Chains A and B, each alone.
Chain A
Amino acid sequence: MAAARGWVSPSVLPGFGLTLGFAGLFLSFIVLIPLAALIIRAGSLPLDEFWRIATEPRALASYRLTFGASLLAAGVNAVFGFIVAWTLVRYEFPGRRIVDAIIDLPFALPTAVSGIALATVFAPTGFLGAQLERLGVQVAFTWVGVVIALTLIGLPFVVRSVQPALEEVDVSLEEAAESLGASRWMVFRRVILPTVLPALATGFTLALARAIGEYGSVIFIAGNLPMRTEITPLLIVIKLEQYDYLGAAALGLVMLCVSFVMLLSINAINGWRMRRMAGRR
């Protein structure tokens, strides 16, 4: 009986053992054991060997590009995604509902599709690439292209985090501030921004986490030049193609650790938001 087990509250509902057992088993076989295999495989390397692989110049260059471009893209999204969310929540304009619906497109679009689409549009001969070329900006096969691809896939995370928070901003607070003589900009900075900031932080972190692991939408536009436009996931793929399993596992472990850190940060930010919300009530 469920009541006999100390760690589960008694319930009249059936199926606890069956569903939890099945879910746990499935989770172990598909997710946990394979990920553990990566950790054990990379962990079997002697420490100095692991360190040598993880810090060779080509790997370091790939970290720089992956993290730098991801941070930049999440930053671009924090600014422009905020503006998009603001216009969607606060203004009425023709086509608003359609714009609102297509924000989720990067979620639903396979990454290879956005990858080849961006690479073609931003190629030096492409629709937007040719215009930018005339301005002296080269996008394809440079780090700028990587940032654009990562901005595309991160966009919905920021907009969808900020939108509900903006909708919940207490209008009476804004009115109070205005009746006390605050300018519109001051109201924005002192009333609106502080309320929305935690949601913006969540969106930024989610976009960053997604960007760091991204592969499909980047490799087409990046050109993949070693030391210059090669992201870390691509370097892993290259090592695998050379049957360098241990090298791939070592880099994989580095990325997995970063993912864990990102996951913890997201949980920490959510906890902070909960506490803030609880404190306000």
Chain B
Amino acid sequence: MAAAGHAVRKQESALVRALLIGVSVVFLGAILIVPVLSVLGYAFSEGFDVYLRALRAPDTIAAIRLTLTTAAIVVPLNTIFGVAAAWAIAKFDFRGKQVLITLIDLPFSVSPVIAGLVFVLLFGAQGWFGPLLRDWGIQVVFALPGIVLATMLVTFPYVARELIPIMQLQGKEAEEAAVSLGAGGWMTFFRVTLPSIRWGLLYGVILCNARAMGEFGAVAVVSGHIRGLTTTMPLQAQVLYDEYDLVGAFAVASLLMLLGLLTLLVKTIVEALGARRRRA
């Protein structure tokens, strides 16, 4: 009370508080929590054995392998790009920097379907390079190269976007000191820069990986849905769902969900570490 000598901030009444918390929980429950839990519910609806058998179906194993292959190509390349772009942007001042940052962000605002479409227009049967590629016997669309390209475009900004603010915040004094003491460029990067960005880099890579493995729209456009050959895990979930094989579809979905949950876990840990370092 004011009589006690200091102002006490008025809170909302207990009723309003309970109401707002209730609205939040019901809202999140309906659009987020129930659907997510239902994935597990359906995946295990006929028991653990059926779940495991669904995951061991040959087409599903092929889909898992294709997804892992795609991510193994896309993630390292986008990581190298992200580090290079962040180094140029954060450690140097040059004209056109803002334009470059905007262009790197571009894939965030482009529909995944467009990301697939552009490669069909370039490399598809009626695309610019379609006839040329056919003569050379190279298949891009409806094959691994197309899936890799489309995934690469969609996941392009993730590592760079994570690193640029971190490296800008750190400035360049430490690197300048290292160089003036005679360290080479690579040594400066690995000994000075990398240790201080490793957690942000880790999260960027994990996020890029989660997006690469889970990409649906862009891959759906370029894949052609050839079972056992060009269906990635998300596409395999769609194929099985369309065939009313709910256990199979949700078994694949459950693996992808696990990937999402692991990504969240890493994010939470990285943020906690960052907060602790800032306090220290």
Contact = CB atoms under 8 A, between A and B. Distances in A.
Chains A and B bind each other: yes
Interface of A: 2, 7-9, 11-16, 18-20, 22-24, 26-27, 30-32, 34-35, 37-38, 41, 80, 83-84, 86-88, 91, 93, 99, 101-106, 108-121, 126-128, 148, 151-152, 155, 171, 174-175, 178-179, 184, 209, 212-216, 220, 233-234, 236-237, 240, 243, 245, 248-249, 252, 255-256, 259-260, 262-263, 266-267
Given A30-B152, A91-B17, A121-B38, A263 B121 contact: no
B168 interface: no
A113 B253 contact: yes
Given A12-B176, A38-B117, A91-B17, A109 B112 contact: no
B216 A112 contact: yes
15 contacts: A7-B95, A11-B91, A18-B84, A26-B77, A30-B149, A38-B114, A113-B214, A114-B35, A121-B34, A216-B216, A233-B112, A237-B113, A252-B114, A252-B118, A263-B105
B27 A80 contact: yes
A104 B267 contact: yes
A113 B32 contact: no
Contact of B216 (A23, A215, A266): A215
Nearest to A216: B216
Contacts of A106: 32
Interface stretch (B49-57, B131-139, B194-202, B257-265): B257-265
B149 to A, nearest CB: 7
B107 to A, nearest CB: 6
A19 B27 contact: no
Contacts of A9: 92-94
Given A117-B35, A233-B217, A8 B93 contact: yes
B124 A245 contact: yes
A152 B36 CA distance: 11
A117 B39 contact: yes
Contact of B263 (A11, A108, A119, A260): A108
A31 B232 CA distance: 22
A3 B117 CA distance: 42
Interface centre among B175, B246, B253, B263 (most CB of A within 10 A): B253
Interface string B1-19: 0100001011010000100
A18 B18 CA distance: 58
Contacts of A88: 24
Contacts of B24: 80, 83-84, 87-88, 99
B85 A23 contact: yes
A13 B117 contact: no
Contact of A178 (B9, B118, B210, B250): B9
A30 B80 CA distance: 14
Given A35-B118, A110-B215, A256-B114, 18 more contacts: A13-B188, A14-B179, A16-B88, A20-B92, A23-B81, A27-B81, A34-B153, A37-B121, A88-B24, A111-B214, A121-B34, A148-B31, A152-B31, A184-B12, A209-B109, A233-B112, A233-B114, A236-B113
B249 interface: yes
Contacts of A259: 109-111, 114
Contacts of B172: 11, 13
A160 B117 CA distance: 31
Interface string B193-231: 000000000000001001001111100110000000000
Contacts of B96: 7
Nearest to B117: A252
B257 to A, nearest CB: 6
A22 B89 CA distance: 12
A18 B88 CA distance: 9
B53 to A, nearest CB: 19
A154 to B, nearest CB: 10
Contacts of B235: 112
B180 A213 contact: no
Contact of B256 (A7, A112, A152, A240): A112
B238 interface: yes
Contact of A152 (B32, B105, B238): B32
A37 B93 contact: no
B107 A31 contact: yes
B185 interface: yes
Contact of A12 (B7, B113, B179, B259): B179
Given A112-B256, A215-B216, A19 B117 contact: no
A23 B268 CA distance: 29
Contact of B114 (A7, A8, A84, A255): A255
B143 interface: no
